[in-house]
């Protein structure tokens, strides 16, 4: 009997990495690997990394240090090695530099070449006796990885499906165009097949993923180019799927048929993550976002006209080079205007190789911290106010997770609010009507009706 090799995969960063991490597991399973939740007993440890901000990158290097200690101890105690691999966006961006800084790393690869993982691992195992071999694979391959990914045999109730990758927008602060490469849209047929398969094995909700998911322009099943809006109509026909979401969107890629999809498709949830980054035209221009605050507000208005109950979340960067107090005030004003119900906000983090990092007008750290606190205060107030409006209402919740307490489960409303409830895992995968009794900062609590 062959002994299964244990693989530990840790995901950092965005949902696309979560999707990729699941696919890595799916790819390795038929080749004699099983997944382990801890690095302690792993034969292979893969860090599926994020490069977006400096903090994310530091985390990878400190985790690598810990893995190295584990690897050394293991070799000393059991003469058994652990292969350490760095995948994802730090792998792509730093390449061979990682093996210089962390020479114990056996393999580096990027987000577009992980479909070759089984082959790369096999190559490593055939190492010449006594001689260490290392693989660095950060070329963008000509083939699309999606053509090589296996069909999964299990899914979450709420599943991710990558439909678009990469970015050609080159915002002046951002590393993604360099780490994920240029824009690519999967053919519609491939996406629809994957969505049908996910529904057939138990997915009830699907989130379409892409760095600029609304910039999707793939080959349609009629041979014409399809937009995201067009694709959504076909996905909505799939029986088992009850909820559809998509993320992340760029304001420049809001096209007519996407507004129509929001108007026509009930399964499309009335909640949209639409990053704006700043409320100041001066800063938006400096960031190379290519739209104004006013244009953003018009998009919001048009979406509200298409679907009156729609609500929004966003991403913000404070302390972009050259941002003044006035610019920051304009961001707060835009936040209040839109009334976001949820948001992510970050201090600007200079990234080597991006145009903004070379600007001489960097904002001092303490100013960034003050602005972030002020912005988050506004955002939290709005989020709590929205959560409180749910009290007394009856909402449909899809339960899929165990809560902290033993008899507690967690689910999501159409607006992605977490709802906790007394119940057990037999309720997972069901859409249940819940009466909301309490609205907190980050969650709701209720009872089944």
Burial status of residue 106 (CB atoms within 10 A of its CB: 0-12, 13-18, 19 or more): buried
Query: Residue 101's closest CA among 113, 90, 89?
Result: 90
Q: Which of 7, 8, 10, 17 binds ligand F3S (CB under 6 A)?
A: 17
Q: Which residue's CB comes closest to ligand F3S?
A: 13
Judged by CB, which is closer to ligand F3S: 180, or 243? 180
Q: What is the 3-state secondary structure (H, E, C) of the chain?
A: CCCCEEEEEEECCCHHHHHHHHHHHHHHHHHCEEECCCHHHCCEEEEEECCCCHHHHHHHHHHHHHHHHHHHHHHHHHCCCCEEEEEHHHHHHHCHHHHHHCCCCCEEECCCCHHHHHHHHHHHHCCCCCCCCCEEECCCCCCCHHHHCCCCCCCCCEEEEECEECCCCCCCCCCHHHHCCCCEECCHHHHHHHHHHHHHCCCCEEEEECCCHHHCEEECCCCCEEEHHHHHHHHCCCCCCCEEEEECCCHHHCCHHHHHHHHHCCCECCEEECCCECCCHHHHHHCCCCCCHHHHHHHHHHHHHHCCCCEEEEEEEECCCCCCHHHHHHHHHHHHHHCCCEEEEEECCCCCCCHHHHCCCCCCHHHHHHHHHHHHHHHHHHHHHHHHHCCCCEEEEEEEEECCCCCEEEEECCCCCEEEEECCHHHCCCEEEEEEEEECCCEEEEEEC
Judged by CB, which is closer to ligand F3S: 50, or 64? 50
Q: Does 93 bind ligand SF4 (CB under 6 A)?
A: no
Stretch that binds ligand SF4, among 37-45, 170-178, 190-198, 434-442 (CB under 6 A): 170-178
Judged by CB, which is closer to ligand SAH: 15, or 156? 15
Q: Which of 6, 13, 87, 198 binds ligand F3S (CB under 6 A)?
A: 13
Q: Does 211 bind ligand SF4 (CB under 6 A)?
A: yes
Judged by CB, which is closer to ligand SF4: 174, or 209? 174
> Least distance in Å: CB of 280 to ligand SF4?
16
Q: Does 334 bind ligand F3S (CB under 6 A)?
A: no
Residues 99, 80: Cα–Cα separation, whole Å? 21
State the binding partner of 59 from ligand SAH, ligand F3S, ligand SF4, none, CB within 5 to 8 A by kind.
none
State the binding partner of 185 from ligand F3S, ligand SAH, ligand SF4, none, CB within 5 to 8 A by kind.
none
Q: Does 213 bind ligand SF4 (CB under 6 A)?
A: no
Q: Which of 45, 67, 174, 395 binds ligand SF4 (CB under 6 A)?
A: 174
Q: Is the peptide bond before 157 cis (omega within 30 degrees of 0)?
A: no
Q: Does 89 bind ligand F3S (CB under 6 A)?
A: yes
Which residues sit at the interface with ligand SAH, rule CB under 6 A?
52-53, 173-174, 176, 211-212, 248, 250, 275, 277, 315, 317, 346, 348-349, 351
> Least distance in Å: CB of 39 to ligand F3S?
20
Judged by CB, which is closer to ligand F3S: 53, or 262? 53
Q: Does 9 bind ligand F3S (CB under 6 A)?
A: no
| Residues 40-79: x where in contact with ligand F3S by CB under 6 A, - otherwise, as a string | ----------xxx---------------------------
State the binding partner of 349 from ligand F3S, ligand SF4, ligand SAH, none, CB within 5 to 8 A by kind.
ligand SAH
State the binding partner of 50 from ligand F3S, ligand SF4, ligand SAH, none, CB within 5 to 8 A by kind.
ligand F3S
Q: Does 51 bind ligand SF4 (CB under 6 A)?
A: no
Alpha carbon 384 to its chain centroid, in Å, reads 24
The DSSP bridge pattern shows strands 205-209 and 158-162 to be parallel
> Least distance in Å: CB of 139 to ligand SF4?
21
Stretch that binds ligand SF4, among 24-32, 79-87, 173-181, 303-311 (CB under 6 A): 173-181
Q: Which residues contribute to the site for ligand F3S (CB under 6 A)?
A: 13-14, 16-17, 50-52, 88-89, 175-176, 179-180
Q: Which residues contribute to the site for ligand SF4 (CB under 6 A)?
A: 167, 169-171, 174, 176-177, 211-212, 250
């Amino acid at each position: 009997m062959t002994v299964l090799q244990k693989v530990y995969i840790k995901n950092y960063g965005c949902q696309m990495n979560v999707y990729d991490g699941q696919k890595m597991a799916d790819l390795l399973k038929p080749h004699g690997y099983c997944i382990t939740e801890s690095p302690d007993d792993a034969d292979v440890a893969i860090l599926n990394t994020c490069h977006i901000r400096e903090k994310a990158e530091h985390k990878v290097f400190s985790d690598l240090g810990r893995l190295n200690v584990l690897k050394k101890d293991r070799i000393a105690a059991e003469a058994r090695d652990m292969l350490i691999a760095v995948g994802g966006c730090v792998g792509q961006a730093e390449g061979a530099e990682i093996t210089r800084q962390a020479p114990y790393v056996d393999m580096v690869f990027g987000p577009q070449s992980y479909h070759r993982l089984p082959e790369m691992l096999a190559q490593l195992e055939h190492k010449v006796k006594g001689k260490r071999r290392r693989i660095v694979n950060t070329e963008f391959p000509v083939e699309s990885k999606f053509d090589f990914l296996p069909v999964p045999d299990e899914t979450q109730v709420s599943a991710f499906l990558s439909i678009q990758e990469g970015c050609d927008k080159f915002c002046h602060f951002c590393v993604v165009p360099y780490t994920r490469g240029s824009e690519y849209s999967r053919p519609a047929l491939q996406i629809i097949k994957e969505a049908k398969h996910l529904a057939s094995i138990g997915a009830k909700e699907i989130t379409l993923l892409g760095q600029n998911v609304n910039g999707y322009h793939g080959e349609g099943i009629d041979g014409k180019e399809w937009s995201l809006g067009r694709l959504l109509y076909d996905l909505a026909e799939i029986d088992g799927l009850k909820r559809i979401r998509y993320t992340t969107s760029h304001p420049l890629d809001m096209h007519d048929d996407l507004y129509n999809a929001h108007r026509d498709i009930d399964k499309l949830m009335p909640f949209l993550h639409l990053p704006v980054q700043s409320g100041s035209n001066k800063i938006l221009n400096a960031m190379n976002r290519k739209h104004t605050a006013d244009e953003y507000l018009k998009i919001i208005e048009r979406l509200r006209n298409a679907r009156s109950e729609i609500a929004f979340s966003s991403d913000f960067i404070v302390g972009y080079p050259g941002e003044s107090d006035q610019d920051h005030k304009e961001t707060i004003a835009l936040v209040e205007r839109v009334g976001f119900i949820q948001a992510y906000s970050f201090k600007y983090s200079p990234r080597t190789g991006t145009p903004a990092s070379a600007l001489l007008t960097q904002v001092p750290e303490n100013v960034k911290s003050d602005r972030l606190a002020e912005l988050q205060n506004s955002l939290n107030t709005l989020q709590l106010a929205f959560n409180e409006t749910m009290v007394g209402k009856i909402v449909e919740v899809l339960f899929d997770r165990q809560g902290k307490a033993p008899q507690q489960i967690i689910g999501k409303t159409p607006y992605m609010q977490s709802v906790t409830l007394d119940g057990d895992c037999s309720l997972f995968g069901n859409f249940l009507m819940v009466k909301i009794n309490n609205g907190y900062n980050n969650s709701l609590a209720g009872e089944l009706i």
